[in-house]
């Protein structure tokens, strides 16, 4: 893993060498993806760094018609998302579960994993191919296990089926989807499988066909995936799933001994547990500043669309497409892609920056060559910059509003003057929230 250096994590209007075209559009990746040599992030087949900027769409295949799926995919591409979390077969959270919107069930006989229904998987393949056409990586759960291994997922049925039948299911998936290079296999699902062979059998079945694709696990909340599945050669990414301190958990993994990219896979969803746009922004920016290879945004009701959910929503999924949180995610991706985000490292102690006052939070990262840094602040009136630490160099700084994606005017600070108090343009950003980003760049 790269060493901790000193200060913040993104910024500026310098054009990125890869993901943003001259016309301002995001460049589609060349699949398949692979783990980059530094093991901190992913890169595409052309060697371009790939920032996982995901949306949670668990019920996409089971709940939506093709016309509805087209609407969803087109909207998410327009908003800058490049990855989706999707269940291949749905157990509970679809209107006709386990059947899809057309009434097609995944298996010819109930829970017979070795007897797949081609008609069901024809529709699934259409969705996955359409996602590939639009440049989406699909984090595809072959069989979501369910919270606690209970009635929300397939764990009980999988345990009863046994390894041979599950391996046959994996072989079918490998043969059916092996030529689709936009799939990252997302095993598990809200549960640390008591019988790991339930997961291993599907993994082995897919691999036995020669199908490629990166692989990881959706664990139970707060499980360290790379530790729970230690020794499994097939595990390519570590994942964080927590309703607690996202920054802290990602930081511990990214700075730990396990040489795997860390993905912030799940935390609070917008419009659940009182979470609004600032909450989901804090999750995403916190993960990225801590050294994640990417993050996944979630919204209720988007994750289940028109199917059964867990929390009530006053909005239809179509209305929720333009949620404040989703709009924030577009600005977040553009912010990161306008810099070489993969060249930054977290600075847990703040480096040359510190919080002015108490009650807020300041998260900092710095570019490896120490020419640029950024800080994500919440609930702070100002940030203290120790200009003397840069030994007389000139520094350009500016503020970024994460709610509307706008930068505010530059100022130049001549370093070696001691401490400088940097205040945002106003206490609240354009949405009336308390979060801002401060960007610094050494200019001479």
In angstroms, what CA-CA distances link 170 with 206, 208, 210?
Answer: 4, 9, 11
Q: Is the peptide bond before 131 cis (omega within 30 degrees of 0)?
A: no
Both structure tokens of 129: 């191919």
Q: How much is the pLDDT for 85?
A: 98
Domains 34-337 and 344-442 share a fold: no
Phi/psi at 208 (5° precision):
-65, -20
What is the layout of strands, in order, in the sheet containing 238-241?
A: 215-218, 183-188, 137-141, 83-87, 52-56, 294-297, 262-266, 238-241
Q: How far apart are alpha carbons 143 and 350 in whole angstroms?
A: 42
Cβ neighbours, 10 Å, residue 299: 25
Task: Tell me the three state secondary structure of residue 385.
Answer: strand
CA distance 74 to 78: 6
20 in Cβ contact with 334 (< 8 Å): yes
> Are residues 176 and 125 in contact, defined by beta-carbon separation less than 8 angstroms?
yes
Burial of 189 (0-12, 13-18, 19+ CB in 10 A): buried
Asked if residues 258 and 266 have their Cβ atoms less than 8 Å apart, the reply is no
Sign of CA dihedral 314, 316, 317, 319: negative
Q: What is the pLDDT of residue 20?
A: 62
Domain with residues 34-337, CATH architecture = Alpha-Beta Barrel (3.20)
Strand-pairing partners, residue 345, are 366
pLDDT digits (tens, 9 = 90+) for 264-307: 999 999 999 999 999 999 999 999 999 999 999 999 999 999 99
Neighbours of 418 (CB within 10 A): 9
For residue 412, the model assigns a pLDDT of 78
Q: What is the CATH number of domain 344-442?
A: 2.60.40
User: What pairing do the DSSP bridges indicate for beta strands 183-188 and 406-407?
Assistant: unpaired
Cis? peptide before 301, omega within 30° of 0:
yes
Which residue in this structure is represented by tokens 């912030």? Answer: 264
- The Cα–Cα gap between 262 and 287 comes to 9
Three-state SS at 182: coil
Helix, strand, coil tally for the chain in percent (to 5):
25, 25, 50
What pLDDT sits at residue 389? 75
pTM of the model: 0.94
* Residues 79-116 pLDDT 10s: 999 999 999 999 999 999 999 999 999 999 998 999 99
> Hey, where are the domains in the chain?
34-337, 344-442
d(CA 49, CA 33): 9
Query: What is the reported pLDDT for 3?
Result: 29
Per-residue pLDDT, 23: 59
Nearest CA to 203 among 259, 148, 141? 141
Q: Give the separation between CA 430 and CA 439, rounded to whole angstroms.
A: 18
User: Residues of the chain whose pLDDT is less than 50?
Assistant: 1-17, 22
Per-residue confidence (pLDDT) for residue 17, from 0 to 100: 47
pLDDT computed for residue 417 by the predictor: 72
């Amino acid at each position: 893993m790269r060493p901790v250096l000193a200060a913040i994590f993104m910024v500026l209007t310098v054009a990125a060498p890869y993901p943003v075209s001259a016309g301002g559009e995001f460049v589609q990746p060349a699949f398949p993806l692979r783990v980059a040599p530094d093991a901190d992030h992913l890169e595409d087949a052309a060697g371009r760094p790939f920032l996982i900027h995901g949306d949670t769409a668990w019920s996409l295949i089971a709940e939506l018609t093709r016309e509805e799926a087209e609407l969803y995919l087109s909207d998410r591409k327009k908003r800058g998302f490049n990855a989706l979390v999707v269940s291949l077969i749905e157990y509970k959270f679809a209107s006709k579960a386990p059947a899809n919107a057309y009434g097609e069930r995944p298996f010819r006989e109930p829970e017979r994993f070795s007897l797949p229904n081609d008609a069901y998987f024809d529709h699934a393949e259409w969705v996955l191919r359409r996602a590939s056409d639009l440049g989406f990586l699909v984090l595809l759960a072959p069989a979501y296990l369910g919270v606690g291994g209970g009635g929300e997922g397939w764990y009980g049925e999988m345990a009863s089926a046994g390894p041979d039948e599950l391996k046959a299911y994996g072989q079918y998936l490998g043969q059916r989807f092996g030529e689709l290079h936009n799939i990252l296999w997302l095993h598990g699902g809200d549960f640390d499988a008591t019988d790991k062979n339930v997961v291993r059998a599907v993994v082995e079945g897919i691999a036995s066909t020669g199908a490629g694709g990166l692989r990881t696990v959706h664990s139970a909340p707060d499980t360290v995936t790379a530790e729970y599945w230690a020794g499994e050669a097939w595990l390519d990414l570590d994942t964080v799933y927590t309703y607690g301190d996202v920054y802290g958990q990602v930081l511990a993994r990214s700075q730990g001994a396990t040489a795997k990219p860390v993905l912030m896979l799940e935390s609070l969803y917008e419009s659940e547990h009182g979470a609004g746009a600032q909450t989901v922004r804090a999750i995403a920016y916190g993960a990225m500043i801590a050294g994640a290879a990417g993050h996944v945004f979630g919204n209720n009701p988007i994750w289940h669309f028109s199917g059964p959910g867990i929390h009530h929503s006053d909005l239809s999924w179509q209305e929720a497409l333009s949620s404040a949180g989703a709009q924030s995610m577009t600005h977040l991706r553009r912010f990161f892609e306008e810099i070489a985000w993969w060249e930054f490292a977290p600075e847990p102690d703040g480096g040359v920056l510190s919080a002015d006052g108490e009650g807020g939070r300041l998260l900092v990262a710095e570019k490896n060559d120490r020419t640029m840094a950024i800080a994500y602040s919440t609930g702070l009136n100002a940030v203290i910059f120790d200009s003397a630490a840069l030994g007389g160099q000139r520094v350009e700084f500016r503020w970024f509003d994460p709610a509307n994606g706008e930068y505010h005017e530059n100022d130049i600070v001549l370093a070696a003057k001691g401490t400088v108090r940097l205040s945002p343009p106003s206490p609240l950003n354009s949405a009336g929230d308390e979060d801002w980003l401060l960007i610094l760049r050494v200019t001479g």
